[in-house]
Amino acid sequence: MGEEQLVSNAKTNSKLTLLPLIALIFYEVSGGPFGIEDSVRAGGGPLLSLLGFLVFPLIWSIPEALITAELATSFPENGGYVLWISAAFGPFWGFQEGFWKWFSGVMDNALYPVLFLDYLKHSFPIFNHLAARVPALLGITVSLTYLNYRGLNIVGFSAVALAIFSLSPFLVMGFLAIPRIKPKKWLVIDFGNVDWRGYFNSMFWNLNYWDKASTLAGEVENPSCTFPKALFGAVILVVSSYLIPLLAGTGVLDSAPSEWSDGYFAEVGMLIGGFWLKWWIQAAAAMSNLGLFEAEMSGDAFQLLGMSEMGMLPAIFSSRSKHGTPTISILCSATGVVLLSWMSFQEILEFLNFLYSIGMLLEFAAFIRLRVKKPDLQRPYRVPLQTFGVTMLCLPPAFLLVLVMCLATAKTLIISSSVIIVGVVLYPIIVHVKKQNWANFGTAPAVPSDDGLETLPIVSHQHPEVLDEASISLLSELSSISRDKQSGEVTAEGVLKLE
């Protein structure tokens, strides 16, 4: 009892507040301007890049942030979009969404220790050799995983400090560039050299994952108030962190678009401010990758915890340490990072975008379906539009998602299809494991439903009215399969039965 009380206290007293949540969302989405250099090269010059970071947030980032704010405050529990999809379409699709998003998140996270060393190797060439590189990668992953284990509060305030350090050199660079900026340089474009696939993938990757923080909504203090404010603040921070360096660099330098590739901002800093600014930007880039790792790891781990609390995964994934963190879920995500770190940056980028696009189309559909199916669902924050209005709000980003998917290569289609097939096959395997009681699937106590059967709810402490929407335990799905075979009855409104 004493240990359980410690865990409970850790969970209660370590809730995320506004500033750490803004920093975590910032690192889930961006982490700074590192990596946006390719948008200048792929866009054939500065114009498309600058327009992209002005227009794309309007048709993509803001709608996604608004939808996330409404759904995260309506279902303020760990699991985020897995809860939303399950409430709208049932646990099968909720599980698929969770599998796609977790797999893509782990792959994304495998990039950051590699990128960290890629920046360091310019000053320390020893990291070009596998004998030094492999132990360093393992050491970085283990160290950052331990920091994640120590608690979300530590991770959140670490993200704040890293964000300040990572963005400071670009503010300095912006001020130094003001007297030398020539606005006509921003209008340069060579349509003959525009790489549309690379351009859209770069834009999309640098402006997505607004929904990721919803997976730890149960760890946020007063989520109905904190989430909308944090998302609004993060949108401003992300867009500013992209536009200020781009306006400074492209407005001062005469560099050819082909020179703009990953890491080029360090050279921009040297040309504008000198070697000291170049080294500062390199250090900021390296530290930014640590913040990206921490934010992604937190989202992935608490997603598994949420799926376990819903009965979609064994109870061991929801076990917490004395710091209130999901130990097994963190270790599982860290193992995936180590195993997937061999893939190249461009392969991961396109692959992530494809899987993410499928998941987001499902989220938009769930958002609209819940507006139609459950108009009386308590929504502490509500997008100020009626059902027709939010449907129109979802159309431009949905079109962008389809466009990104159409631009995918054959290799991406094959790999993504394989992951989707694995998810479809894995679901009935878990169902069978539950049915045979081969593993412990801890869930909330059963309560009677209106039809006299029992449901297994995920109880929303903030909003008891959400009880029906969150009654989506995979465990109850198991017995409903057997019951449906015997009685032929169809469960109404997605309420799942348990014998």
pLDDT (tens digit per residue) in 146-155: 877 776 666 6
Q: How confident is the model at residue 338 (pLDDT cuts 50, 70, 90)?
A: confident
d(CA 214, CA 196) in angstroms, rounded, equals 31
Residue 487 has pLDDT above 50, yes or no: no
Indicate the Cα dihedral angle 272, 276, 277, 279, nearest 10°.
130
Bin 432: left if φ > 0, else alpha if -120 < ψ < 50, else beta. Answer: alpha
Distance separating alpha carbons of residues 299 and 245, to the nearest angstrom: 28
Whether 432 is in a domain gets the answer no
Given a cut of 70, whether residue 12 has pLDDT beyond it is no
Neighbours of 182 (CB within 10 A): 11
Please tell me the predicted confidence (pLDDT) of residue 96: 95
Kindly state whether residues 183 and 325 are assigned to the same domain: yes
Which pLDDT value is given to residue 131?
80
Mean pLDDT for 297-309 is: 86
Are residue 449 and residue 405 in the same domain, yes or no?
no
At 260, give phi and psi (nearest 5°): -85, 100
pLDDT of residue 152: 64
pLDDT computed for residue 342 by the predictor: 66
Q: Which of 219, 437, 466 is nearest to 318 (CA)?
A: 219
Judge whether 430 lies within some domain: no
Domain assignment present for 65: yes
pLDDT over 90, % of the chain: 32
Q: pLDDT class for 187, splitting at 50, 70, 90?
A: very high
Residue 11: is its pLDDT beyond 50? no
| E-strand stretches of 345-413 | none
Q: Are residues 397 and 452 in the same domain?
A: no
Question: How many H-runs (helices) and E-runs (strands) does the chain carry?
Answer: 19, 2
Which residue range(s) make up the domain with 362? Answer: 2-409
320 part of a folded domain = yes
Q: Which pLDDT score, from 0 to 100, does residue 332 have?
A: 85
Q: Which of 364, 388, 409 is the last residue of a domain?
A: 409
pLDDT of residue 157: 75
Lowest mean pLDDT among 50-64, 385-399, 436-450, 476-490: 476-490
Q: What is the mean pLDDT of residues 192-199?
A: 89
- Is residue 370 domain-shared with residue 453, that is, in the same domain? no
Q: What are phi and psi of 326, to 5 degrees?
A: -80, 95
Domain assignment present for 415: no
Distance from C-alpha of 342 to C-alpha of 357, rounded to nearest angstrom: 23
pLDDT of residue 246: 95
- Using alpha carbons, select from 435, 424, 422 the residue that is nearest to residue 474: 435
Domain C-terminal end among 364, 391, 409: 409
Least confident of 244-248, 346-350, 387-391: 346-350
Q: In this predicted structure, what is the pLDDT of residue 52?
A: 94
Task: Write the pLDDT tens digit of every residue in 166-179.
Answer: 899 999 999 999 99
Same domain, 348 and 456: no
Residues 458 and 371 placed together within one structural domain of the fold = no
Lowest average pLDDT, out of 250-254, 412-416, 463-467, goes to: 463-467
Residue 424 lies in a domain: no
Residue 261 vs residue 184, higher pLDDT: 184
Looking at this protein, which amino acid is placed at residue 72? A
Q: Report the C-alpha gap between 2 and 189 in whole angstroms.
A: 65
Mean pLDDT across the stretch 434-439?
87
The residues with which 245 forms a beta bridge, in sequence order, are: none
**In the beta sheet, which residues pair with residue 447?**
455
Domains of the chain: total: 2
364 with 466, same domain: the answer is: no
Closest to 86 measured CA to CA, from 302, 310, 372, 309:
310
| Residue 77 shares a structural domain with residue 167 | yes
Among residues 409, 428, 461, the one where a domain terminates is 409
- Give domain status of residue 472, yes or no: yes
Return the top range by mean pLDDT from 210-214, 275-279, 326-330.
275-279
Backbone angles phi, psi at 220, to 5 degrees: -100, 135
pTM to 2 decimal places? 0.77
350 and 471: one domain?
A: no
Residue 152's domain is classified under what CATH number? Answer: 1.20.1740.10
pLDDT band per the 50, 70, 90 thresholds, residue 345 = low
Both tokens assigned to 350: 């396109």
Contacts 24+ apart (CB under 8 A), 422-427: 422/99, 423/95, 423/96, 423/99, 423/100, 424/96, 426/95, 426/99, 427/92, 427/95, 427/96
The residue ranking higher by pLDDT, 322 or 56, is 56
Residue 456 has pLDDT above 70, yes or no: no
Is residue 367 assigned to a domain? yes
Q: Say yes or no: 349 and 467 in one domain.
A: no
Average of per-residue pLDDT values in the chain: 80
Query: 3-state DSSP call for residue 362?
Result: helix
Instruction: Give DSSP secondary structure letters for 302-359.
Output: HHHHHHHHTTSS-GGGG-B-TTS-BHHHHHHHHHHHHHHTTS-HHHHHHHHHHHHHHH
Q: Which residues contact 244 (CB under 8 A, 6 or more apart)?
A: 170, 171, 174
pLDDT digits (tens, 9 = 90+) for 20-78: 888 888 888 888 898 788 899 999 999 999 999 999 999 889 999 999 999 998 988 87
Characterize the bridge pairing of strands 454-455 and 447-448: antiparallel
Most confident of 3-17, 123-137, 405-419, 448-462: 405-419
34 and 92, same domain (yes or no)? yes
Q: Which pLDDT score is estimated for 392?
A: 94
In the predicted structure, residue 341 carries a pLDDT above the cut 80: no
Q: What is the pLDDT of residue 468?
A: 37
Burial string for 18-36 (b: 16+ CB within 10 Å, else e) reads: bebbbbbbbbbbbbbbbbb
Residues 404 and 478 in one domain: no
